[in-house]
């Protein structure tokens, strides 16, 4: 994997968290997949049977750059698999179709191990969502990657691999078009945030016209958790301040503000900000670690979770920024401090 700055990797991890949180829900995934498939295919799939399957098939070294989900559904009375891939890097991968082929082969190999009696393989429908600012420019068809003379294309066709991925290029979609898609408010807001987070100077202001839609969704099952994932994503990937996000939460209603934008999330971001500020002032990693460590302890204090002397000493002595980031995230939701420091 290319050597990327830590801040870039953190933002990619946030893309992954939001994608998985929202689109692991088959109802949300179905809305997006129905939109991107051709009408005939979308009509042939029984969306009520859409089921999330276990596993991830992306190379481990590339998981910072893309996220994947695998679904199954009934189509024409038979099972099909839908491989849903989210591309996070800001430059496209010309050989994405080749990577997809590798992922599809892994899926089929797993299927054969799980169904040794099967005499056929289920079709795999590959879907890629891209939120690269410059748009999708890579080949969508595997055949486009092959160096085939034009006069031999028809002759070689029966012997070569051929498939075309479905690409949802968010950069090519107008903002109003994203909000008009035939799906519920949360996946619409998610796609909008994925598109705009890197470039918007004030993402909260851009979301304000849609507060009514999001407020209605907050009353649904798991609505608060989904909105929480979006607000965390905004805080992590955009220059929006915690105070601006709190303003959005307040506009969504007292229940949303109380359940989502509690002091923990604000403290998490302030802990990160303090770590950056102290690290810059001192010019060394110890300053960043000290700021993050204080953030962890402040979150735990705000949630009134008891911290033992050994745990406090462990936090304050830690210089591993990745570990401190992990503890900071866990501190917001863990039931007790043992859960935070268990691994």
Which residues in the chain come in under a pLDDT of 50?
A: 1-12, 263-264, 267, 274, 277-284
Quote the pLDDT of residue 296.
Answer: 84
Are 280 and 234 in a shared domain?
no
Quote the pLDDT of residue 286.
Answer: 57
Are 20 and 42 in a shared domain?
yes
Are 222 and 269 in a shared domain?
no
15 touches 238 (CB < 8 A): no
pLDDT tens digits for range 202-245: 899 999 999 999 988 888 878 888 888 888 888 878 777 777 88
> What is the residue range of 268's domain?
264-340
Q: Which of 208, 243, 259 is the last residue of a domain?
A: 259
Q: How many CA atoms lie within 13 A of 162 on its CB side?
A: 9
Separation CA 155–CA 139 (nearest Å)? 22
Are 268 and 243 in a shared domain?
no
Q: What is the DSSP string of 297-342?
A: HHHHHHTT----HHHHHHHHH---HHHHHHHHHHHTT-SSHHHHS-
Separation CA 87–CA 15 (nearest Å)? 9
Are 213 and 294 in a shared domain?
no
> Number of structural domains, the chain?
2
Q: What is the DSSP letter of 150?
A: G
* Residue 153 falls inside a structural domain: no
108 touches 124 (CB < 8 A): yes
Are 17 and 97 in a shared domain?
yes
Are 198 and 316 in a shared domain?
no
- Cα dihedral sign for 337, 339, 342, 343? negative
292 touches 270 (CB < 8 A): no
Paired tokens of 314: 């462990």
Are 282 and 254 in a shared domain?
no
138 touches 92 (CB < 8 A): yes
Q: Which of 259, 287, 317 is the last residue of a domain?
A: 259
Are 98 and 214 in a shared domain?
yes
Are 211 and 97 in a shared domain?
yes
Are 255 and 268 in a shared domain?
no
Quote the pLDDT of residue 283.
Answer: 46
Quote the pLDDT of residue 229.
Answer: 85
100 touches 84 (CB < 8 A): no
pLDDT tens digits for range 73-114: 999 999 999 999 998 766 678 999 999 999 999 999 999 999
Separation CA 171–CA 166 (nearest Å)? 15
Whether the model pTM is above 0.75: no
Q: Which of 240, 259, 278 is the last residue of a domain?
A: 259
């Amino acid at each position: 994997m290319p050597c990327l700055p830590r801040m870039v990797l953190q933002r990619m991890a946030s893309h992954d968290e939001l994608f998985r949180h929202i689109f692991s829900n088959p109802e949300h995934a179905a809305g997006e997949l129905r939109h991107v498939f051709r009408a005939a295919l979308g009509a042939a799939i029984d969306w009520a049977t859409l089921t999330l399957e276990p596993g991830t098939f992306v190379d481990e070294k590339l998981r910072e750059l893309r996220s994947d989900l695998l679904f199954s559904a009934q189509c024409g009375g038979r099972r099909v698999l839908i491989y849903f891939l989210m591309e996070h890097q800001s430059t496209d991968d010309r050989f994405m179709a080749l990577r997809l082929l590798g992922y599809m082969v892994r899926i089929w190999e797993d299927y054969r191990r799980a169904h040794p009696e099967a005499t056929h393989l289920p079709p795999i429908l590959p879907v890629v969502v891209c939120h690269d600012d410059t748009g999708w420019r890579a080949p969508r068809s595997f055949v486009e990657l092959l160096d085939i003379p034009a006069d031999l294309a028809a002759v070689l066709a029966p012997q070569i691999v051929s498939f075309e991925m479905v690409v949802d290029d968010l950069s090519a979609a107008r903002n109003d078009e994203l909000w008009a898609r035939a799906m519920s408010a949360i996946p619409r807001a998610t796609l909008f945030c994925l598109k705009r987070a890197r470039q918007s100077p004030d993402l909260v202001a851009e979301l304000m016209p849609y507060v009514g839609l999001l407020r209605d969704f907050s009353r649904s099952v798991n609505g608060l958790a989904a909105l929480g994932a979006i607000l965390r994503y905004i805080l992590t990937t955009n220059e929006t301040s915690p105070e601006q996000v709190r303003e959005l939460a307040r506009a969504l209603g007292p229940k949303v503000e109380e359940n989502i934008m509690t002091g923990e999330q604000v403290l998490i971001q302030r802990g990160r900000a303090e770590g950056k500020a102290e690290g810059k002032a001192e010019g060394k990693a110890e300053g960043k670690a000290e700021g993050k460590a204080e953030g962890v302890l402040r979150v735990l204090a705000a949630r009134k979770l008891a911290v033992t002397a050994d745990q406090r000493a462990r936090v304050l002595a830690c210089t591993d920024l990745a570990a401190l980031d992990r503890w900071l995230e866990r501190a917001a939701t863990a039931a007790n401090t043992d859960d935070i420091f268990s691994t």
